[in-house]
Structure 1
Amino acid sequence: MKVLIAMDSFKGSISSIEGSKAISAGIKEVYPEAQIVTLPLADGGEGTVEALIRATDGNVVEKEVMGPLKEKVTAVYGILGDGKTAIIETAAACGLPLVPSNQRNPLLTTTYGVGELIADAIDKGCREFVIGLGGSATNDAGIGMLQALGFRFYNKHNEEVGIDGQALKDIYKMELEHVNAKLKECTFRIACDVKNPLYGPMGAAYIFGPQKGATPEMVKQLDEGLKHFADIVQDALGVDINQIEGAGAAGGLGAAFSGFLNGQLQSGIDLVLEIIDMEKSMEGADFVITGEGKLDGQTSMGKAPLGVAQLAQKQGIPVIALAGGITEETAALNELGITSYFSIMNTPMSLEEAMEPKVTYTNLRTTATQLFRLLQAVQAVVKV
């Protein structure tokens, strides 16, 4: 028997790697000789570097960069097994968890550190980039990142503007003479699952600004800055960065990658599955096991378990999904490739207890054991 385990993390509880180990151990209790292939997953957000490094036998790189509050932080990114592809989660350099709750103000935060990570990867020979957007504390439309890569933005007095969200409104012109020349050799694939434009009622400031600490007054100021910046870019480069689908992701980093670096924005899970060559790993599998912390309506909108299920469906492979929590909306997944789904909870407990890593590990292992004991019993009946 061959079983492919392709789990996302149970966020806040257990990593995709540890979750896969638990399920594998549960299966081995019943089928000691089973061939088990594990491919930890992520959908372009948290855990993407870890998942892709493991899947491609790559390396982790640590780099001290400028954090969102303009202080030094140690950020981590990965270089895949091919030695030429860098995988960067932007949140590693400008993520919301890096900013204490009482200091959150997207007028003052910057993406400069993201640009430093890209420059470091270029120096190490990388020319292919996979960028995971999401979880940023910023709303600077990526001007911090761009300045770290050599782009220059000036005010009306021919002085360089700042590197944060409040600097957007001061930009009068841009200059490209000092841009890192090696960027022309680079390609950027961007994992982005939001569709928001750069500015306006559905833009970066109004939709995501409040969760980053923006007051209504700040939101208005940020949105005006984003619009002003888009107008400057339109005049200088002839590119309408506002209308790019996903431009508002990560405080406007989507617009910066697409408009300045020719980045291609695509579904996070589709990008990850392509890189790890999931379809090839599925060949000959009898079952696929996937899952995440909670299966709900969001899962059916493109998260990791659905991406796995759709690939398995093409090959006619049954898919079992495991989760801590399951909602009524999850039933829709049965029509989208997931054969059956199960909660790993087996006794009443608080959310805090359920999310304890040891508890989650045990529950995953126990559930896997019981499912495959049932399968073993059914197979015995069929043989008779």
Structure 2
Amino acid sequence: MEPVRTTRLVVAPDSFKGCLGAVEVCAAVEEGALRALPGADVVAVPLGDGGEGTLDCFLAALGGQEMVLTAADPLGRPVRARYGLSADARSAVVELASASGLPLVADVEDTVDAAGTASAASASSSTPLRASTGGTGELIADAVGRGAREVLVCVGGSAATDGGTGLLRALGVRFLDAAGKELPPGGGALAALAAIDDSDVPAAVRETRFRVACDVTAPLVGPAGAAAVLGPQAGASPGQVAELDAALGRYADVLAAHTGVRVHDLPGAGAAGGACGGLVALLGAEPASGAELVAGTVGLAAALEGAALVLTGEGRLDGRSAGGRVVSVVAALARERGVPAVALAGGIAGPPDTLHALHASGLTAAFSIADGARTLDELTGSAAPMLADLAEQVVRLRFG
């Protein structure tokens, strides 16, 4: 086939979590697309929804510097974490998962399981109650100290259900019990919260505009709140979920009394174990759909102008994919510009109307990389070449 240099293809996927980052997905899809249409103008726009991997999307699209420093992990242990700082140091992107993510406490569970002792199990069971977002606050403080006055906090993948109190502590906020004593880290301690003292928050932090990229719409408290949604993922027992929910309810009450801002049932306030709610109430943060915010920041709409096809995708297309996640956001933007949008996924699951909802959002078609009966290990181990092969076939079908 002769090179077609006037055909523009946009590749705008989410990551295939646990397998390929969004940048790697773009590379695989571009490889296959160019096999089918050599010389085509392929524009890669890696995306995210505010969870793990979103920072890489910003760095790939906008450049800037990757800043690496030692911060506290969810249990206070030192960990090397990173964030993105713009070339002029005026804006920063902080990914909560880097310092406060679930994988950082996986070793605790593994150690306990291997030991199998009652004392070890008891120590492990306290993790959901004492895990903290303090390390993320250290990253933010470092960025502000370097001059950043626009900070985007991507809050997916948290190991802590602490209402963002660890993060806020690192920025100068104090959380006190009835005796005026500082509470220990973790969401469980918030049951004893009596007062909040934010008089020591630096002026630089007060002057900073905070935006929060949320990957969920959960409220702070209640049956669909932060504890109910994140708690089990972080290893909380049903009893601990109830304890954390009650503690977050107390936190929300004190926040409202202190700031006048009610975040109890604010959509998205429960993201990252309530970190979004704390940021909104105490720092005036602006929450937004992670996928929409990322797409807007990296310039997806402009990239789609004049495109002949956009290839998007994520690891698993399911009933949640049409609810503001990357694929549905890409599809909606593509439809507005008359661009066909095709999703490539590791798997397609959920109720029969899953694809119908995606088609309604603007998606033209969706395909799975699975070419037969395969185990999960086989799919993840071969995802890149399978993505390239599938992209080649989709582009041949469209332009062959």
Equivalent residue number for residue 35 of structure 2:
29
Q: Give the equivalent residue in structure 1 for 2:160.
A: 138
The residue matched to 2:162 in structure 1 has which SS?
Answer: coil
Alignment check: 8 A CA contact 2:221 2:265 kept: no
Structure 1 residue matching 2:310: 3-state secondary structure: strand
Secondary structure at 1:157 match in 2: coil
Matched, 1:243 2:265: yes
Determine if contact 1:147/1:163 at 8 Å carries over to the other structure.
no
Give 5+ residue unaligned stretches, structure 1: 378-384
Give the deviation of 1:81 after TM superposition.
4.8
Is 1:252 the counterpart of 2:274? The answer is yes
CA distances 1:308-365 after superposition (whole Å, capped 9, x unpaired): 1111111101112111212342233222211122222223321110111xx1111111
| Matched residue type, 1:354 | L
CA distance in 1, matches of 2:228, 2:262: 19
Task: Name whichever of 24-33 and 269-278 sits farther off.
Answer: 24-33
Determine the structure 2 residue equivalent to 1:228.
Answer: 250
Q: 1:285 to 1:144 in 2, by over 3 A?
A: same
| TM-score (norm: length of structure 2) | 0.89
Structure 1 contact 53–81 (Cα < 8 Å) conserved: no
CA 1:153 to 1:13, structure 2 compared with 1: closer, same or farther past 3 Å?
closer
Q: Match of 2:33, as an amino acid?
A: I
Residues 2 and 207 (structure 1), Cα distance of their counterparts in 2 relative to 1, 3 Å cut: closer
**Amino acid aligned to 1:177:** S
| 1:381 matched residue in structure 2 | none
Contact 1:4/1:288 (8 A) holds in 2: yes
Deviation at 1:31, TM superposition (A): 2.1
Q: Is the 8 A contact 1:56 1:81 kept in 2?
A: no
User: How far apart are the structure 2 equivalents of 1:4 and 1:346?
Assistant: 24
| C-alpha distance 96-315 of structure 1, shift in aligned 2 (>3 A) | same
In the alignment of these two chains, the number of paired residues is 375
Q: Which residue pairs with 2:387 in the alignment?
A: 364
Measure, in 1, the Cα distance between the counterparts of 2:342 and 2:132. Answer: 42
Higher alpha-carbon deviation: 266-275 or 73-82: 73-82
Aligned partner of 1:52 among 47, 58, 61 = 58
Q: Is 1:192 the counterpart of 2:214 in the alignment?
A: yes
Kept in 1, the 8 Å contact 2:51–2:215? The answer is: no
Q: Distance in 2 between matches of 1:81 and 1:275?
A: 15
> Superposition RMSD on alpha carbons, in Å?
1.7
> Could you say what secondary structure the match of 1:107 adopts?
helix
- 5+ residue gaps, structure 2, are 1-6, 113-123
- Aligned equivalent of 1:77, options 78, 83, 89: 83
Partner of 2:364: 339
Letter in 2 for 1:119: A
* Alpha-carbon separation, structure 2, partners of 1:349 and 1:121: 45
* Percent identity between the two aligned chains: 40
SS of the residue corresponding to residue 131 of structure 2 reads coil
Write the letter of the residue equivalent to 2:141: A
What does residue 342 of structure 2 align with?
320
Which residue identity lines up with residue 331 of structure 1 in the other structure?
H
Query: Does residue 304 of structure 2 align to residue 282 of structure 1?
Result: yes
